[in-house]
Structure 1
Amino acid sequence: MDHTTPQNVDPAELAKFSELAHRWWDTESEFRPLHQINPLRLGWIQQQVPLAGRRVLDVGCGGGILADAMARQGAQVLGIDLATKSLKVAQLHALEAETPNVQYREVSAEALAAEQPGQFDVVTCMEMLEHVPDPASIVRACATLVKPDGWVFFSTLNRNPKSFLFAIVGAEYVLNLLPKGTHEYAKFIKPSELAGYCRQAGLDVQASKGMEYNPLTRRYWLSNDTSVNYALATRKAAA
């Protein structure tokens, strides 16, 4: 990795996820919510753009839950992250599960954008923007990495009293769905802010979706309520 340029990364965030790395693929661990929402996210992405045969980049791939699933849909997937331990877990899982067409690299989105501009049909960046110091920089990198007419998907957390209550107080402290300290409210991003970053980067928002959770049934579903968790599907203008 090139250490000459400052990384758009929070060392405390990397340490947090590295500590939990061995638990990524334990579906009853702290990562249970990611395993539960993965089929929903994957299905929504596939509705916008069928993944089979596409070259796909997953930015902030962590232990590879989404990258692995997209590869199993027939995509050629590269997952990138800066948390070394999480990447090792992703690579190990791909070997054990014999997942075809998936690779992982320890590289920042910005560094890869300088190296491989316009090389991917689809770029995904899920549950990652709320963990970096400069989310707009990641959005710009994703826009650079995708081909003209290609798709970029983002998901993150809205910033309002309800999301504070649900995503931090509820998920981390009451229901213990997530490790305490997973999220920092000040880093949450309003949909209007994320849409602004996208527009500035040359990405047009095509669709948005919210995600809801019922703690009694422990069930997640997609809806039009973007007040807590939400995703944006964006597209780069054709050349």
Structure 2
Amino acid sequence: MRILEVGCGGGLQLAKLAAMGCECLGIDISREVLARAENYFREIHRVCGQELDIKLIAADFSDVGQTELGGCFDLVFNFGVIEHILDDAARLRFLQKKYELTKDGGYIVSYVPNGSHPIRNKMKRMNLGGYNIPEIDYDQHLMEEEFKAIGAKQIIILPHNLFGYLLMEKKNLLIDWLKKLIYLGMQVVPWAFLPQDFCYRHAGSLIGIGRK
């Protein structure tokens, strides 16, 4: 399987996929983070002895095409990134390009923070996520609308990391342990037993999947 990650950063996701035998390509605008990714891959090879099939390109995604990327892919995905594109039209162009680089029958995937969980506004105001970069607030409806707009089929929007937002804010030892217990408990409850709206409301992140 041939996979492209847009905005691959330090390469954590690519390393996992390459370890399963996938042919991976990562693109990121920052040469600094790509250098960290290369160091990470070398360390994996040193410790595990596994050579990973990963190529990295330092470029703006909007400036590269099929020729530079060596053709189309079975899977094109982003882990974050797109929520920082504040302009609606620019965000759709980003998704459309992902779709165009996907083989017929292949998949596009987008992983974003959930913009509608209970402490989302507080998280942004107090910088609880660890960094403060402007981003839009995604919910399942916006994700689905954007996937439909680019022509994706068989669209699925999955709630992910239920109650993950509880772990962002530290108060005191007892409360933090209680929040951790709630979080861990929600990871083992089958989602089929929970109301769908509840899952979307309390998801820490959302995963959008579409097929070409």
* Residues 48-98 of structure 1 deviation map (CA, whole Å, 9 limit, x = unaligned): xxxxxx000011111111111111111000011112211111111112212
What is residue 17 of structure 2 aligned with on the other side? 70
For the pair 1:142 / 2:98, whether they are aligned, the reply is yes
Counterpart-to-counterpart distance in 1, 2:154 and 2:60: 24
Listed as ranges, the matches of 1:22-171 within 5 Å are 54-98=1-45, 99-113=51-65, 115=67, 116=69, 119-133=72-86, 134-160=90-116, 162=118, 164-165=120-121, 167-168=123-124
Counterpart-to-counterpart distance in 2, 1:142 and 1:197: 12
Q: Which TM-score applies when normalising by structure 2? A: 0.72
5+ unaligned residues in a row in structure 1: which ranges?
1-53
Q: Which TM-score applies when normalising by structure 1? A: 0.64
Question: What secondary structure does 2:64 align onto?
Answer: helix
For the pair 1:181 / 2:132, whether they are aligned, the reply is yes
5+ unaligned residues in a row in structure 2: which ranges?
46-50, 168-178
Q: Please tell me whether the aligned partners of residues 118 and 148 of structure 1 are also in contact (alpha carbons under 8 angstroms).
A: no
* Overall identity of the aligned pairs, in %: 17
Report how far residue 118 of structure 1 moved.
Answer: 5.7
Counterpart-to-counterpart distance in 1, 2:118 and 2:107: 30
Which amino acid in 1 is paired with 2:210? T
Counterpart-to-counterpart distance in 1, 2:123 and 2:80: 12
Counterpart-to-counterpart distance in 2, 1:139 and 1:205: 16
- Aligned residue pairs: how many? 176
Report how far residue 221 of structure 1 moved.
Answer: 4.0
Report how far residue 180 of structure 1 moved.
Answer: 3.9
Counterpart-to-counterpart distance in 1, 2:8 and 2:15: 9
Listed as ranges, the matches of 1:10-29 within 5 Å are none
Counterpart-to-counterpart distance in 2, 1:113 and 1:190: 30
Structure showing greater Rg: 2
